[in-house]
Structure 1
């Protein structure tokens, strides 16, 4: 009898240990569960244990894509910006100017994720990660960037289907514009005008990438870029005459009316008048809201805007 009782007790103890072990393994698995893992534009694998509940962005360019993928109600901090500020974000806490993000203000928002603009705010990563806050560094310059980041933001907000639908819609709109114009390989030059002078935009610039999407040839493609700007090259009147573009697009920073008046006065010179684009009055000034900063999810509008300059029938 005693021998049977001992056997029963031993069995109970083994079962208890097994159940305890299973419980601890289940708890460990729960603790290690991951909501999503994404790769940011610094090449980092960013793992989020749960869907972010409080997001701070350091660039206004992220606000519309977040709204489009159902993340507007998650944003608790954003930078000051005179452009690209959707209505939903106007009353959200400011964390400083785009080029001067205030780390203390970011921390005061108690975010669990900060989305950082590549090339501008990476210095925040170390301080924020050191405070236990996840960071995601994203680039929104080219159309391919925008599509990649829409997918990333859709994954972060748990709305992958909305991201896929948005990308499909943008692709279809751009295809419609391209299908509505001749497939001519137009030779274009893109000049960037500011109060400090002129430069030439290369294929990596916003206007350069849009021209490339339309199948046009940027005559400055392959030029040696500026030291501090890989998407632009020095302006040279002699080089521009040699390149002989049939179309000139002008992007600008500053008051457009003043820049346009200055450019038109400059183009009265004999060298400028020898260029077909100037002589044939095919110089077009592109809107700053689409071509100074990344148009983001409005890339189809930028493609249509450039196409309509040359072909008014473009969709």
Structure 2
């Protein structure tokens, strides 16, 4: 015996919804079509599945046993069908994105929340990590989209670069707080919290001090802009901080000042070359790239 799935689906709908009328409405077919499918199933199985009592179909004990056996299968296919509809309507799928820590505290969660509105079945894979690891993940296909710091050292990655200006955060009661703009001479011998000796922001700040003949005094170093800002709050020194970290912070015992000459942070959005983006991934890029352009001071295209 082999019964087509549509017959099982009609049988399942009748029991679940109680009447042929309701089952037909659920499946989007006519009542005669439902009745015909049920008759075919009874012939194929050689089982009496319903008693006709006062114009209603009452399931037999055999029908209940059969229903229990096919319930998971039918619901599973319904779930698959709904997933197809959701994908067609672009309300489902998975957003896979990895970012540097700076973007993870406020900017990216806000962008993900905005993107998820109206997509109730969207699942999200979101991680923050160091730039080299993000490049490895995107290359390996573990994440579809990555945002990290330059340089890009992995082969086979499409690159969308953005140049971001940092600002100087200083303790609220620092002697230089009266100045609206800071420069190396004003901060001569002022203690700094840096992002490691080889970080691009540290190198560029050091070069600016050296050019002006000022002493770049390093008091401490850390691996995250967020950590550096917290040390500034404690009055331990100044730090060059990216706008994403500043925007995500609640404020506190520090002030933010423009620094001259400008110290830039180069970031890049990466995707795997030769691997087509999902519809969801492309739509997220269409949202987030313009937002990054608004923040960036200079952009080399998408």
TM-score by length of 1: 0.26
Higher relative contact order structure (alpha carbons within 8 Å, sequence separation ≥ 6): 2
Q: Which has the larger radius of gyration?
A: 2
Bigger share in strand: 2
